Amino acid sequence: MSRSVPRSSLTPQRPTAAEVVVREGFICPICMQDLGTIDELQEHFERDHTEEDKSILQQLKGMLLKKVGRSTSPTPERRNGGGGLSDDEGGGFHNDQLITWDPQDDGDVTSHTEYFRKIRDNRMERFMVETNKLIIRLDKLVHEAPSDPRQRAVFEKHLASWVPDHDVPVCPGCGKTFKRFMRKHHCRLCGCVICTECSRFLDEAFVERLTNPVGAALSRSDDSSRRGSDTKPGPGMKRSNSSESLMSIMASMGSKDKEQVVRACEICRGLLDRRLKQMDEKYEKTELEELNERIVFAISDAENLYPGYQEMAASLHAGETNFQLQQAVELRNQLMRLFDTVDLFGKRVAALPETTSPVEQKLRSKIRMNAMDFLKSHVLSMSVLPSPEKCEELQRTRREEIKRNMAAKRAADDERKRQLLSRNNHHDSPLSARKKPDKPKTASKNPFDRSTQKGSSSNPFEEDESDNDDSLNPFAADDDEEVPPKTKRPETAGRQNGWAAEPVRADELDQDDDPVLQQIEIVKKTIEQAKRAGRMDEVLSLSQNLSDLTLFYKQQVLQQL
Amino acid sequence: MDLLLAVRLYINKMIDESGPGMKVLLMDKETISIVSVVYAQSEVLRKEVYLFERIDGGGNREIMKHLKCICFVRPTRDNVDNLCHELKFPKYGSYYIYFSNIIPKTDIKQLAECDEQEVVKEIQEFYADYLAVSAHVFSLNITNIYHEFNWVPETLNRVMQGLSSTLLALKKAPLIRYQNSSEMAHRLAERIRQLMAKESSLFDFRTAGPQPVLLILDRREDSVSPLLNQWTYQAMVHELLGIQTNRVSLADVPNIAREMQEVVLSTEQDEFYAANRYANFGEIATSIKQLMEEYQTKAKMHTKVESIADMKTFIESYPQFKKISGAVSKHVTVIGELSRLVAQNELLQISELEQEIVAGQLDHGDCFQRMRQLIANPKVTSLDALRLVLLYTLRFEKDPNRDSHTFAEMLRKKGLPERWLQLPDKLARFGGSRFRLTDLFHSETVSADAFMRRLTKGIRGVENIYTQHVPLVKDLVDQLIKNRLKEPAYPYLGGVELKERPQDIFVFVLGGMTYEEGYAIHELNKANPSCRVCIGGTTIHNAKSFLEELWNADQP
C-alpha cells in the first residue's frame, strides 16, 4: 500500500505488455497478418488456415472481437478518437477529448411561430381596419367639414352616426350615471356618448401627423412599407400597402392650416395612439449601429482571408514556389487594410459623443472590446513575409536540400537492399512474425527505422513527431493507421527545411510483410504526399525508385522459387 | 450524445436565426446559468451579442430599438407574464423568443395577443433546460427535493421537465428503468413516461440499434459517495472549495489577489482543466509544474527581448503566452489552496480512514479507536469529524458494539451546532440498510465485477489507499451495459424489456450526483467504446450540500 499522496492512475488494472498492442484492421487472428479488406481476410483464412484447429479459432474469435473488432464496428468514427487503450493514456492526461462520440446534429426543436402569427395577425387585422376607418373620418372632420356651425354639427352627426343621448344612462368610460346637469358629449370619431371627464381633444399636431404625413413623415411611411414587406410577405404586405395608399390620398388632399381640434373617446384615442407609435417605430439607423456593422464586416472578411495568408507565408518561408511573393504581399496589404478598418471604426465608437445612458455606454464598450479582441488575436500572430532576396535564398537552399535528401535516400536505399539480401531468410516464418507485435519498441531498433528510411538524420520531423504524439501516447500509431497523412505537417516543418515527406512510420506498416514490400509501401505513400504537395520532381525520382524496388522484389521472389 | 455540444448548438442556432446586427440576450435566472456554463462572453461577443439582460430583473431596462432581442427563458408562468408586458411595451426592435421546454398553446396565444407592435419574429422551443457540466454530465441545479422522503410537488414537475429536455436535446426516446425501492424514482419514471405518451409526436425519434435506456436512481441508495473526501481535481475542488456553475469562489483564501477571488473552471475554455480534471492530486502537481516551467521558459524568453529575432518569437507566441499565463496563475492558486487545506485539516489521515471504513475491512474496535484519535485532533474540522461519524453510522449500523453516544459527545465538544448532531440519526433513516437494496460495504457480493475487483485487490494489493472507493453507480451501470442489471431491483416501466445490450444510457440520480460518479461514468465510457453513458442529478453534491439536503429530507 502506498502512503504517499495519491499518484498512480486511479484505475487498478494496468494492462500488461501483451495487451498493450492493439492492432486494428483486418488482421488474421492466426498469423497476425494485416489484410486490406474483409474479403481478402476471408480468402486468406480459407487458403492458409483451414487445417488449423477450429477450437483455437473459437478462442481467438473472442479476442478478435474485443481487440480488433473495433475497426469493424458499426461506428467507425469513434475509432480514431477512442484513445487506443481504455485505461492507460499515459502522461496523466485523462482527457474528455479522448472520447469522441458520433457527430451530432442539432437537438429537437418545436416552432410555434406560425401559430403565433396566425393569432396575432387575426387580431391585428381587426385593429387595422378599425384604425383606418377612424383616420378617414378624422381626415374628413378636419379637412372637409363645413365652417358653418349648424351645418357642421349635421355633418359630424352623419359622419360618425351619433348614438342618441337618451340611450345612454351611464358613461361607458368611467361608469358614472349621467345626472341632470352633466353634459353628454359625443365622440366625433365613433359617435359614442361620454362624459366631460372621459372625452379628450385631439390636438392639432396629433391630427396633423396622422392625416397629413408630409415630408419626413412621408418618407417614413415609405420606409414602413418596405420594412413590412421585408419581414412578412403575407398579410403584412397587404396592410402596409393599404395604409400607404391611404396616406397618399390624404396627403394629396393636403390643405394644412386648420385650427380645429376634435373631441374623441378614450378607445378611439388609444387606437390612434398605437398607429402613431407604429409610425414612430420606423427608426433610422443610429451611428453606432453603422459603425458596428462596418466592424463586423471587416472582421468577417479578415477572418476569411487570414488562414490563406498564414499558409502562404509559411510556404514562402519554407522556400516553396507554390505562391508568388507578390501575391502574398498584396494579400498582406489587404489584411492590414481590414485591420485598420476595424481599428479605425473601433476608435470612432470610442469617440462618439458622450451619452448619459449606462446601457449605451456598455454597448459601446462591448463593441470596442470585440474589435480589440479580434485585433489582439490576429495582428500579433500574423506571420511576417521574407524579403525578395531572402525569399530567393530560401528557395535555393531548399533545392539543395532536396538534392541532398535524394542522394542520401538513394544511398540508404542501396544500403537497405544489400542488408535485405542478407536478412531475407529470417523473415518469412509466420511464427517469428507472430511474436513481433508484442514488442512495440523493436521498431526503433529495426534498420527500417524512420531515420534510415528518410535517409537524412537532420530531419526535423523526428523531433516534431516525438514531441507531439509519441511521448504522450506511445501507441497512437495504431489508431492513426488509416488516417490520411496530416496535411498540415509539411508546412510547419517545412519552414526550416524545405519540403520533406512525412515519415511513414514503421509501426504504421505491417511489420510482418516482407521488408522490401514495406519499403515499396513507404515509397508509395511518400509519392502520394509529394503529389499532394505538388512536388512533381520528387514524384518523378521517387517513381523511379519505386520501379527499381519492384523489380528487385520480383527477382527476389523468383530466386526463392 | 454530447450534452454540452447540444446546448451549444441550440445557442448557436438562436444567434444565427436572428441574423446580423447588434443583439441583446434576455434571460432568466436559470437560463443565464445554462448559457454561461457552455459559452464564454468573448465567444458570444464575436457573434454581436453585446448585452445580457434579465427578464426578471425589474422594469428598468432602457429602450433600444436598434437592438435585436434574443429571449431565452424557461416556460414558467412568471416569465410568460413578464414577456407579455415586454411585448406590450417593446424595448427592442425585434424579438426572437426561445423557451427552454414545452410551453402550453394557451401561453403562446396569450403572448400573440400582446404583440401589438408585431415585434416577434420567431417563437420556438429549444430544449436546453439543463446545466451541461461536461459532455456526459448534467445537473438541474435543484436542491432540497425531499420532503418527508417524498417529492416536493413543484420540484417533481421541474425535475421531470429538466430530465425530459436532455432526452429531447439528444433526440432519444428511452425505455425507462427505475430503482424499485424508491417510490420517488418510480413516480419520476411514471411522469416521464406520461410525458412521452402525451407528446408522442415530439418523442418520435427513429434510432438504429437498441433503444436507449434511462435509469433512475435515488441518492438514498448510496449515501457514501457524497460523504467522502475526494482526490481527483474536479471532485476535490468541489469538495473543498465548491463549484457553482463552473465558478469557484476563492474569496476565503488568505491573501488572495482581487482578480482571483472568483475563478472559472470550464472544460470549454481551459485546456489545462479539460485535460486534468480527472487526474488525481499527485498527478496534478506534476502537470502544473510542467505548465509552470513552460511558462517560465516563455517568460524568460520574453524578458530579454533584445534582437529582432527575439521580438519575432515574442510576437509569434504572444497569444499562446497570454493564455498560458492566465491558466498558470489560476491553477497555481487553486492547487495551492487545495494543498494548504489538505495539510491544515489532516485530510490525508481522514481520507485514509474514510476509505478503510467504506472498504469494509476494518473491524469495529480498530475503527472506534482511530476515529476517537482523529476527532480529538484539534486540526480536524468539525465537518470532517462529522463525516467520519456518519460513515461509521452507516457502516456499523447493525453492529451491536456501535457507540454513537461517545461520538455525539465528542462532536458536541468540537463545537458542532446542535442541529447537525441530529444528522447521524437522520442518515440512518435516509440511507440506512432498511432502505437500501445493495450492501454498500461489500460484506456480501454486489456483482460479479465487484467480486472480481475485490479478489484482484486482495492479490495485488491496493494501488492507492485514498481512492479505493468505487461508487455504486459504476457497478450498476456496468451491469446495465452488460444487460445484467437485476430486473426485480431495477424494473422496466411498462413491461417492454430490452433484449440486447443497450448502447445509449442515461443515468439520473435524484437527490443529487457527485463528481466522483461523473468520473466513474467517464471511465466506463472510455472502457466501453460501443456505449455512450450520460449521468445527471438534481444537483451535484459535495459533503456540505449533501448534509443540507439530508437535514431537510425528513424535516416536517
Strand B504-510 relative to strand B213-218, pairing: parallel
pLDDT at residue B390, rounded to an integer = 93
Percent of chain A with pLDDT over 70: 54
State the CB neighbour count (10 A cutoff) for residue A265.
Answer: 23
Kindly list the domain boundaries of chain B, sorted by start residue: 3-127, 133-222+471-553, 233-344, 347-459
Nearest CA in chain A to B531: A101
Which of A93, A277, A370 lies at the smallest CB-CB distance from B275? Answer: A93
In angstroms, the separation between the Cα of residue B237 and the nearest Cα of chain A is 16
**Is the pLDDT at A481 greater than 60, yes or no?**
no
Judging contacts by C-beta atoms under 8 Å, the chain A residues touching residue B67 are 363
For B504, the closest chain A residue by CA position comes to: A101
Residue B66 to residue A283, Cβ atoms within 8 A: yes
Which residue on chain B is closest to A86 by alpha carbon?
B527
Per DSSP bridges, beta strands A109-111 and B120-126 are antiparallel
- Mean pLDDT over the full length of chain A: 65
Q: What is the pLDDT of residues A209-258, one digit of tens each?
A: 777 765 444 444 444 444 443 333 333 333 334 444 444 444 444 444 44
Tell me A485's DSSP state. Answer: P
- At residue A54's C-alpha, the angle toward residues A52 and A56, to 5°, is 85
Cβ burial A12-43 (10 Å sphere, 16+ → b, else e): bbeeeeeebbbbbbbbbbbbbbbbeeeeebee
- Looking at CA atoms only, how far is residue A111 from chain B in angstroms? 4
Mean pLDDT, rounded, for B431-443: 74
Mutate to test the interface with A, among B62, B463, B533 (most CBs of A within 10 A): B463
pLDDT digits (tens, 9 = 90+) for A498-534: 445 555 444 444 444 566 677 777 777 777 777 777 6
Q: How confident is the model at residue B149 (pLDDT cuts 50, 70, 90)?
A: confident
Least confident of A284-293, B107-116, B124-133, B373-382: A284-293
The verdict on B290 touching A (C-beta cutoff 8 Å) is no
Interface probe with A: pick from B116, B234, B468, B478, most Cβ of A within 10 Å: B116
Nearest chain A CA: its distance from B7 CA (Å): 8
pLDDT at B304: 55
Residue B420 has pLDDT above 60, yes or no: yes
- Kindly identify which residue of chain A lies nearest to residue B90, measuring between CA atoms: A281
At residue B315 the predicted structure's pLDDT band, cuts being 50, 70 and 90, is low
Give A470's pLDDT tier (boundaries 50, 70, 90).
very low
Q: Which of A86, A92, A369 is facing B279, going by the closest CB pair?
A: A92
Which positions 411-450 of B are in contact with A (Cβ < 8 Å)?
Answer: none
Ranges of each domain in chain A: 27-95, 116-281, 287-379, 393-560
pLDDT class of B83 with cuts at 50, 70, 90 = very high
Q: Do A5 and B170 touch (CB under 8 A)?
A: no
User: Does the domain formed by B133-222+471-553 have CATH 3.40.50.1910?
Assistant: yes
Number of Cβ within 10 Å of residue A490's Cβ equals: 25
Q: Per this entry, what is the length of chain B?
A: 556
Q: Is B6 on the interface with A (CB under 8 A)?
A: yes
Instruction: Please give the residue that has the higher pLDDT: either A102 or A365.
Output: A365
Return the higher-pLDDT residue of A82 and B87.
Answer: B87
Please say if the pLDDT value at position B446 is more than 70: no
Residues B17-42 pLDDT 10s: 998 889 999 999 999 999 999 988 88
Residues of B in Cβ contact (< 8 Å) with A3? 465
Q: Look at B90 and B288; give whichever has higher pLDDT.
A: B90
pLDDT at B111: 93
| Cross-chain Cβ contact A94/B278 below 8 Å | yes
- The CATH number of the structural domain formed by B233-344 is 3.90.830.10
Percent of chain B whose pLDDT exceeds 90? 40
pLDDT per position as a tens digit, A365-423: 888 888 888 887 777 677 777 788 888 888 888 888 888 888 888 888 888 888 877 76
Residue A250: in which H helix or E strand, if any? helix A235-252
Most confident listed range (A71-80, A246-255, B109-118): B109-118
B128/A13 CB distance under 8 A: no
Q: How far apart are CA A6 and CA B279, in angstroms?
A: 10
User: What DSSP string runs through B366-432?
Assistant: HHHHHHHHHHHSTTS-HHHHHHHHHHHHHHTTT-TT--HHHHHHHHHHTT--GGGGGHHHHHHHHHS
**B13 in contact with A, Cβ within 8 Å:** yes
- State which CATH number among 1.10.760, 1.20.58, 3.30.720, 3.30.420 fits the domain covering A287-379: 1.20.58
The pLDDT of residue B259 is above 50: yes
pLDDT at A453: 40
Eight-class DSSP state of B51: E
pLDDT of residue B396: 87
Distance CA B467, CA B445 (A): 20
Least-confidence region, from A540-554, B183-197, B307-321? B307-321
Residue B397's pLDDT is: 84
Cβ-nearest to A120 among B118, B280, B286: B118
Highest mean pLDDT among A16-20, B225-229, B303-307: B225-229
- Closest alpha carbon within chain A to B204: A108
Distance (Å, whole) CA B525 – CA A329: 50
Q: How far is B523 from chain A (nearest CA, A)?
A: 8
Contact B6 A124 (CB under 8 A): no
Among A73, A97, A101, whose Cβ lies nearest the Cβ of B274?
A97
Q: Which B residues 490-549 touch A at CB under 8 Å?
A: 519, 522-523, 525-530, 532
Picking from B25, B70, B23, B13, the residue whose alpha carbon sits closest to that of residue A289 is B23
B305 vs A: CB within 8 A: no
Residue A151 confidence (pLDDT) above 70: yes
Mutate to test the interface with A, among B69, B206, B234, B283 (most CBs of A within 10 A): B283
pLDDT value, residue B58: 65
Residues 6+ apart with CB under 8 A from A523: A542, A545, A546, A549
Q: Band of the pLDDT at B286, cuts 50, 70, 90? A: confident
Q: Is the dihedral of CA A289, A291, A296, A297 positive or negative?
A: positive
End-to-end CA distance of chain B, in Å? 40
Q: Which of A154-163, A547-556, B136-145 has the highest mean pLDDT?
A: B136-145
Q: Which residues of A touch B465 (CB under 8 A)?
A: 1-3
Interface test with B, best of A5, A88, A97, A299 (most B CBs within 10 A): A5
**Chain B residues lying within 8 Å of A281, measured CB to CB:** 65, 117
Min distance A68 CA to chain B CA atoms (Å): 13
CB spacing of B116 vs A288 below 8 angstroms: no
Separation in Å, CA of A289 to nearest CA in chain B: 7
Chains A and B form CB pairs within 8 A to the count of 230
Cβ–Cβ below 8 Å for A12 and B457 = yes
Q: Which residues of A touch B527 (CB under 8 A)?
A: 86-87
Q: Is the pLDDT of residue B107 over 90?
A: yes
The helix/strand/coil state of A169 is coil
Contact A115 B105 (CB under 8 A): yes
DSSP-assigned states of every residue in B228-280: S---BHHHHHHHHT-EETTEEE-TTSTT--GGGSEEE--TTT-HHHHHHTTSB
Residue A210 has a pLDDT of 77
Closest CA to B62 of A558, A358, A291, A427: A358
Give the mean pLDDT of chain B: 86
CATH topology agreement for domains B133-222+471-553 and B233-344: no
Cα of B373 to nearest chain A Cα, Å: 19
Cβ contacts (< 8 Å) between B105 and chain A: which residues? 112, 115
Q: Out of B62, B117, B464, whose CB is closest to A359?
A: B62
Cα atoms found within 13 Å of the Cα of residue A229, Cβ hemisphere only = 11
Nearest chain B CA: its distance from A278 CA (Å): 7
Q: How confident is the model at residue B1 (pLDDT cuts 50, 70, 90)?
A: confident
In chain B, residues with a C-beta closer than 8 Å to the C-beta of A123 are: 112-113, 116
Provide CB contacts within 8 A for A154, sequence distance 6+: none
Pick the closest to residue A343 from A300, A405, A294 (CA basis).
Answer: A294
Tell me which of B216 and B463 has the higher pLDDT: B216
Q: Do B108 and A7 touch (CB under 8 A)?
A: no
Least Cα separation, residue B518 to chain A (angstroms) = 12
Task: Look at B491 and A494; give whichever has higher pLDDT.
Answer: B491
Which residue, among B46, B94, B317, B505, would best test binding to A if mutated, counting the most A CBs under 10 Å from its CB? B46
Q: Is the dihedral of CA B175, B178, B183, B185 positive or negative?
A: negative
Winning range, highest mean pLDDT, from A101-110, A420-429, B346-355: B346-355
- Cα separation of A18 and A11, whole Å? 18
Q: Does B2 touch chain A (CB under 8 A)?
A: yes
Give me the pLDDT at residue A515, please: 65
The residue ranking higher by pLDDT, A171 or B102, is: B102
Architecture of domain B3-127: 3-Layer(aba) Sandwich (3.40)
Nearest to B529 among A10, A70, A124 (CB): A70
**Which residue matches cell numbers 373620418?**
A137
Which CATH superfamily does the domain covering A116-281 fall into? Answer: Zinc/RING finger domain, C3HC4 (zinc finger) (3.30.40.10)
Nearest to A278 among B117, B281, B466 (CB): B117
Cell output for A540: 518523378
B196 min Cα distance to partner chain A (Å): 14
Q: Pick the residue with more confidence: A415 or A90?
A: A415
| Overall average pLDDT of the A158-179 stretch | 80
